[in-house]
Amino acid sequence: MFSLEEKIEGMLPLVSKPARYLGNEINSIHKDHDQVELKVALAFPDTYEVGMSHLGLKILYHILNSRENIVAERVYTPWVDAQKIMEKERIPLFSLESHTLLKDFDVIGFSLQYELTYTNILSMLDLAGIPLKSGERKEAFPLIMAGGPGAYNPEPLADFMDCFVIGEGEGVILEIAQTLIQHKKEGEGKEELLVKLAKVPGVYTPSLYEVFYHSGGTIKAFQPKRGDIPKRIERRVVPNLNEAYHPTKFILPFINIIHDRIALEVRRGCSRGCRFCQAGILYRPPRERDINLLLSLATEAIQATGYEELSLSSLNIGDYRRLEELILSLRGRLAPYRISLSLPSSRVDTFPLPLEKELKKGSITLAPEAAREPLREVINKPWKEEEFLETVERISSFRRPLKLYFMLGLPGERREDIVAIVELVREVKKRHPSRVSLSLAPFVPKAHTPFQWRGQEELSGLEEKISYLKRSIPRRIEVRAHDPEASLLEAVFSRGDRRLGEVLLRAYQKGCRFDGWREEFSFPLWQEAFRECHIDPSFYAQRSRDYRELLPWDHIDAGIGKEFLMEEDRRAGGE
């Protein structure tokens, strides 16, 4: 009879990247489970390389572990090869730090960053030997919760989650932890725990709410089952970013990860108001960190990790009021360490051109989104073509690759908008002799945005536009396009309701997982799942909705009134 540790050791030589499952990295935290009152597994439903790059999970990991009576450990979705071995050899899913079985934790918290990771959540629960549906889990199993941007429309996962955290986790995670610790001491049942959690501001417990539908499939009513829990769940917000925790002792991975560097969050939120952008709504109001605090955090992180690259993180880095001073100060402060600086993708109209010589010599990324001014007015992302081309000309002197992002199928888009992308890219190439690449992404309507009532374009239309652009743009320019079928699925779950739970379960049972990975995504299996559940995906993705319709996420208060969103949609030509 082999022990769990022996089984894990036997699996490692047989998988593609065994370092994904080792744990024990530098700066990882190890505690004696017998000496703590609460055991938390922080679960990221994607590979180690993706999950290790996510700043939010790092923040929660260190906040929880800062308490002596709490241990937090990490778990990521095993890749396909490892899953097959684990199923065959009956190796339950385990945490990285201590290789503790996931089902032995008190709570498992999933990070919802992308709708196409939802089947991975079911896969992780299944591998752990935990019943998938919340109603089938009794006191013997961990509490299953989730947070992140996906929680702002929690309904497609309502069958599987015990509760959701709405908003920024830093401000509520310890409050939830204390509730769980106290509940364990009192020895009450799961139902009592869910009621306690439902009374914590920012926590949504779906089993305590009922949904009623009209005969046509739209929602008739949504109401709590008890009178002592809120009808609407208000998000939690960290009011002062200077007082919010930011990690410096980043865990150093054994293998290359997606963003293998220090991430320094300088600013949270954005007030630009792009009408398609969910993050711009969810992370309001804009908040900045003090420049002296940022310099201190950067120095601590360099000393604790030895990283040679630091990235400034923000939705729109150009809006940080003291950006030039910050970059120059960082260069001076970090010069002895020979640290390179990098920025995320930038808006066309706030690109910090004078500072480029201070930054890492890699590619430069700009996000025009739309090539014609009328469409940019519709999406509320104004910039002038002449200024943009002047910026491109000045960038060309750096002799660095240039990446451009455009969206397809935006509300109000016309044929001439697609043609204009070709013309603009050709003009860019004339002014930028270095490598130019193009990324195309279909528009996905998102909850809590002005475009939440708009339908997504039909697959055939999106596919034709992508084909036209690939044919028309000069071959020396690399063109990449997000799969329209994957974007359709993303739209379904971003605007879906509880009935999608059965579709998700059926798709998973058919073998769907890692749907965000092109080589693993199987749209035919999803189509089968929709047909067998008698659900039309176009009802969620491509159907335009009336302002009077009760939306599946209307009980979630994102901090922005519905009237404001309606007015913004009207300004864009809606209803």
Q: What's the pTM?
A: 0.95
Using CA atoms, how far apart are residues 45 and 512, in angstroms rounded to an integer?
13
Last-in-domain residue among 198, 217, 236: 217
Instruction: Name the helix (H) or strand (E) containing 504.
Output: helix 500-509
CATH number at residue 47: 3.40.50.280
Question: Is 505 a domain residue?
Answer: no
Other Cβ atoms less than 10 A from the Cβ of 177: the count is 21
Other Cβ atoms less than 10 A from the Cβ of 523: the count is 16
Question: Is 481 a domain residue?
Answer: yes
Using CA atoms, how far apart are residues 38 and 52, in angstroms rounded to an integer?
23
Q: Are 370 and 443 in contact (CB under 8 A)?
A: no
Using CA atoms, how far apart are residues 301 and 440, in angstroms rounded to an integer?
35
Q: What is the 3-state secondary structure (H, E, C) of 288-308?
A: ECCHHHHHHHHHHHHHHHCCC
Using CA atoms, how far apart are residues 150 and 421, in angstroms rounded to an integer?
31
Peptide bond before 285: cis, by omega within 30 degrees of 0? yes
> What domain range includes position 440?
364-499+535-575
Question: Is 405 a domain residue?
Answer: yes
Closest CA to 33 of 69, 62, 67: 69
CATH number at residue 541: 3.30.750.200
Report CA dihedral (523, 526, 530, 532) to the nearest 10 degrees: 120
Question: Is 527 a domain residue?
Answer: no
Last-in-domain residue among 217, 248, 275: 217
Question: Is 225 a domain residue?
Answer: no
24: left (phi over 0), alpha (psi -120 to 50) or beta: left
What single letter denotes the amino acid at residue 183?
A: H
Residue 357: predicted pLDDT? 58
Distances in whole angstroms, Cα of residue 469 to Cα of each of 16, 367, 405, 417, 473: 36, 17, 13, 11, 6
Residue 358: predicted pLDDT? 55
Per-residue pLDDT tens digits of the chain, which is 575 residues long: 568 898 999 999 999 999 999 999 999 999 999 999 999 999 999 999 999 999 999 999 999 999 999 999 999 999 999 999 999 999 999 999 999 999 999 999 999 999 999 999 999 999 999 999 999 998 889 999 999 999 999 999 999 999 999 999 998 999 999 999 999 999 889 999 999 999 999 999 999 999 999 999 999 999 999 999 999 999 999 999 999 999 999 999 999 999 899 999 999 998 888 999 999 999 999 999 999 999 999 999 999 999 989 999 998 888 888 988 998 898 888 888 888 888 776 666 666 555 555 565 667 888 899 999 999 999 999 889 988 898 888 888 777 889 999 999 999 999 999 999 999 999 999 888 889 999 999 999 999 999 999 999 999 999 999 999 999 998 899 999 999 999 999 999 999 999 999 999 999 999 999 999 999 999 999 999 999 999 999 999 999 999 999 999 999 999 999 999 999 999 998 76
Q: What is the 3-state secondary structure (H, E, C) of 345-402?
A: CECHHHCCHHHHHHCCCCCEEEEEECCCHHHHHHHCCCCCHHHHHHHHHHHHCCCCCE
Residue 559: predicted pLDDT? 92
Residue 518: predicted pLDDT? 94
Q: Is 75 helix (H, G, I), strand (E, B) or coil?
A: strand
Q: Which tokens is 432 given?
A: 């930028």
Using CA atoms, how far apart are residues 82 and 95, in angstroms rounded to an integer?
14
Question: Is 345 a domain residue?
Answer: no
Total domains, the chain: 2
Residue 360: predicted pLDDT? 54
Residue 361: predicted pLDDT? 61
Residue 301: predicted pLDDT? 95
What single letter denotes the amino acid at residue 76?
A: Y
Question: Is 303 a domain residue?
Answer: no
Question: Is 273 a domain residue?
Answer: no
Last-in-domain residue among 217, 249, 272: 217
Using CA atoms, how far apart are residues 535 and 541, in angstroms rounded to an integer?
12
Residue 351: predicted pLDDT? 64
Q: Are 154 and 204 in contact (CB under 8 A)?
A: yes
Residue 242: predicted pLDDT? 96
